[in-house]
Amino acid sequence: MNIKKLKTNKGSSILEALIAIAILTLGISAASMLAFSNQTLKLDSETESEALYKAKTILESARAESRDAIDFADLQSDPIPIIDGIYSKQLIVDPFEATECSKQIEAKVTYAPEIARPQVINLISRVVNTEEAFAMGGDCSPLPPTDPTLTKGTKGVNLGGDKTNGLDVFNRIAYITLEKKPGLVFVDGTDFNNPFQIMNGYDADSEVNDVDVARDTDTGKVYAYAVRETDTDQLQIIEVTNPNSPVFIRNMNLPEVEGSSEPEGYRVYYYNNRLYVTTKETAGPELHIFNATDPTIVLPKLGTAELNRTVNDFIVIDQNVGGTVYTLAYMVADSNLKEIAVLNVTNPGIVSEISTFNLLGGDDGYSINFSQASKLLYIGRQENGSEELYAFDASDPFTGLVEKAKNEVGINPLSIRVSGKYLYMMSDGSNKDFQIFDANPATDLSLIWKSNNSNKGAGLDYENNYIYTLFNQGSITLQIFYAP
């Protein structure tokens, strides 16, 4: 019995030893796995921190570049990702998330700490170029709309039947030009649900064809530059820092066209301390350029140019072309052969026409807008049974404009504005006076939305997520929409 017990105890001891070894092995394995897992987590954390640092560096570099107006205009996406060890880095600048003076920038860093687990860091920010905003006289919106869905203001403004020519919006005040005296009306749109007319209008002593409002960067005062339907004193300057108490500064004559046919002031544009004024087609020069550094004095004349056509709309920008910065004026006119023209006005004393484009059909160009981010030029032309809305690549206007998209809208696009993804258009079609299109040429400028106000449009403007739509006349002359 004792011997059997000894054998039994020996077998049990061996079994217990094997079990103990197995448990110890499992414990060591678990400890090793835990240690390896902790090491992996540590490496992942360090890698992620480094990726985050690289993404932040990309954004900071883009912010620094955006402080200069020209570098800001040329701030674009990296064409392909940049390989940096295990990291793939890329700056993404979406031209359809931009405004005239702001861009959305995105830093994307991809890395793969383990083959089966790729990771991505995305940082998004927005940069605003104050230099460009100042050049535009403060007439710039830092944020684009993010949704085509609009909220219509509860009330519109009725101007009592006065026919309108156009408008410019500055700091939520709409400056509206009229076909007869008083010539100008100011509307406070601070509350888009309840806009109201300020005073009974401003007496410009004539019909006013166009107005551009800008802030003087030296004094902070705001001035309205109005061009009038008069043979002399075509330009009128008004201080509107307090729109409730406007101050007449002076009238200015365009002597080069005095006594000729149709010398009336027609269009005006402020850019970078210069004022650009056009007349209707006349015997003398149609383009007049002034130094507007000090709006309180008689503006010194910098130059003129004979265009031999009536310019219906135009814009002026500083554009980097091939490493050289030029001041360019993009224009649309009533010419059968030069509906679109680009002028080099860098030296106002020597204005040169560098590029023209003939739209088939010989119909007039009506409206224009330019995107610095995408270098796309948007054109609205007279209804002709074919396409009336165009987008052109204007990245190198010296070699010509390249058509990228067009759309038959079946109406006259009297005014267009582009902000972010959307192109807003006002027309004289009473059943589709206000419309929204996709600004990306890849969509062929497809229609997104239209409204029917049973009235003919006269103009529109966009400012800080609000769209101001102007009608020629009717029970509602000005209607404001909120664009989120």
Render each residue's pLDDT in the chain as its tens digit; 484 residues: 443 343 445 455 655 554 554 444 444 444 444 444 444 444 467 888 888 999 999 999 998 888 877 788 888 999 999 999 989 999 999 999 999 999 999 999 998 766 556 789 999 999 998 888 899 998 889 999 999 999 999 999 999 888 999 999 999 999 999 999 999 999 999 999 999 999 888 999 999 999 999 999 999 999 999 999 999 999 999 999 999 999 999 999 998 997 778 899 999 999 999 999 999 999 899 999 999 999 999 999 999 999 999 999 999 999 999 999 999 999 999 987 789 999 999 999 999 999 999 887 778 999 999 998 999 999 999 998 889 999 999 999 999 999 999 999 999 999 999 999 999 999 988 778 899 999 999 999 999 999 877 688 899 999 999 999 999 877 899 999 999 9
Strands of the sheet containing 413-419, edge to edge, are 413-419, 422-427, 434-438, 447-451
The answer to whether residues 107 and 123 touch, using CB atoms and an 8 Å cutoff, is yes
d(CA 332, CA 315): 10
User: Residue 315 is encoded by which pair of tokens?
Assistant: 């814009």
Q: Could you tell me which CATH class the domain 136-482 is placed in? A: mainly beta
Q: Which segments of 348-454 are extended strands (E)?
A: 352-357, 365-371, 376-381, 389-393, 402-407, 413-419, 422-427, 434-438, 447-451
Q: Looking at the DSSP assignment, which residues form a beta bridge with residue 327?
A: 318
Count the helix, strand and coil residues of the chain and give each as a percent rounded to the nearest 5. Answer: 20, 45, 40
- Predicted TM-score (pTM) of the model is 0.88
> Do strands 119-128 and 151-152 pair parallel, antiparallel, or not at all (unpaired)?
unpaired
d(CA 314, CA 341): 9
For residue 44, what pLDDT is reported?
65
d(CA 256, CA 237): 19
Cα of first residue to Cα of last residue in the chain, in angstroms, is 95
Q: What Cα–Cα distance (Å) separates residue 361 from each residue in 22, 198, 275, 383?
A: 91, 44, 33, 10
